[in-house]
Amino acid sequence: MRRKAPTRSSRKPQAPSAQPIEVTLDSFNQDGRGVTRHAGKTLFVRNALPGERVLVQLTACHARYDEGETLELLSPSSDRREPGCVAYGQCGGCDLQHLEAAKALELKQQSVLQQLQRLGKVQPETLSAPITSAAWNYRRSARIGMNQRQRDQQLLVGFRRRGSSKLIDLDGCPVLQSRVEKLFIQIKHVLAEETELRHLTHLDLHLGDDSGVLCLRITRPLNSALIQRLTALAVELNLALVTEDNDGQLAWLYGCAEDLTYSPYAELKLHFQPGDFLQINPEVNRQLVARALEWLAPAPGQHLLDLFCGLGNFSLPIAASGARLSGVEGSADMVKRAEENARSNQLGHCQFYSADLSQDIRAHQWYRQTYDAILLDPPRSGAANLIPALAALKTQKILYVACNPAALARDAALLAAEGYRLTQFCVADMFPQTSHIESLALFQPQRR
């Protein structure tokens, strides 16, 4: 009997060779790895830069590509630099500290433009200057893990290791804002007197402009002595202190929610709660909002639609221009806070709606209105399902804020098929020291 050939899905990945190989890297991909060709396949190499010759240990072999780690730099790039963090390469956070910051931004922008051209078949008519910030001490939100190791009861405080669910113990993080850079050491000191810590799982940090909150995730109530020590730390850092239990219930131990604010633009102040989504980099966010306003140019008498509006990060600056604003968000709690933020900033010409934007939107009352422009800031999955409905509104401007270049490229192709062209584009370096890049893309109808 003739045997049936194995299907592609039944083929197991080949075991990588134990023998290191020498390669020269040709380019750079969207996740920060060097790229070359070897043995007829594409090879992705971690910690390798374009132009470098390196000794590589293969770590995974697939049907069409292989993966590897740099063992030795044989001919380093002039763009290479010493990482600024002692845990770099072990921590799962930053992945581009070995690359000079300006060159990293150049390569990230190049990667997005290549994806727009290759996947979206579009090119921007105008390429604007990138939006940037300080390369260190920029981050205002983080989830800090805590774990008491079983073998020796040592408390680990830090982030997850690269490619692992396990924690790496840290004393600090140089990309966190300077006022909390040593929070890891301070937490260890506060918890040093506790013998049983497995009821503490992680600490969420959220910083406003002059405020912030430490939200401690717990599986059972804290004892009074620990509450006292944690409160003293919160007072020292000028941060509120909250616990969150298994049911998601918050208990305020110090401070209050009304104190948590940040400004996305000019004199506006937005209130937020623990767990609300905030853009990680406040300086880049302010510039991003300002450029969105510049490109949209909202004016009194106009009506704009903001999809995935959140707390009102873009909505309220648009409304402050005098234009009418309709904002839509999936979370009813976020809609409530957007409404509260509009009231506290005395912006009466805003309407906010809760809707599942992953579904067909055409039956909603807010969709059946006339809009002069649309802004959308979707999650990493993008907004492919929305494009036909948005194009049917025939607005003069669609401004897309993207956190995933591949999703943007796909959606840009869909907009082009609906008769829109990419008129202005820029990248925003929201996460320096990482391969992550955000983009701002303005689409307008094709010229007749």
Give the active site residues: 403
User: 3-state class of 164 per DSSP?
Assistant: coil
Number of Cβ within 10 Å of residue 415's Cβ equals 22
Rounded to an integer, what distance in angstroms lies between the CA atom of residue 241 and that of residue 217?
A: 11
User: 3-state class of 158 per DSSP?
Assistant: strand
Q: Is 426 annotated as a binding residue?
A: no
The contacts of residue 1 (CB under 8 Å, 6+ apart) are none
Q: Is 215 annotated as a binding residue?
A: no
Cβ burial of 376 (10 Å; 0-12, 13-18, 19+) is: buried
| Identity of the amino acid at 73 | L
Q: Is 329 annotated as a binding residue?
A: yes
Q: Is 285 annotated as a binding residue?
A: no
Nearest CA among 70, 239, 56, 57 for reference residue 142: 239
Cβ burial of 138 (10 Å; 0-12, 13-18, 19+) is: buried
Rounded to an integer, what distance in angstroms lies between the CA atom of residue 331 and that of residue 356?
A: 8
Q: Is 356 annotated as a binding residue?
A: yes
Q: Is 279 annotated as a binding residue?
A: yes
User: Are 285 and 305 spatial neighbours (Cβ–Cβ below 8 Å)?
Assistant: no
Binding-site positions: 85, 91, 94, 173, 279, 308, 313, 329, 356, 377
Binding-site positions for S-adenosyl-L-methionine: 279, 308, 313, 329, 356, 377
Binding-site positions for [4Fe-4S] cluster: 85, 91, 94, 173
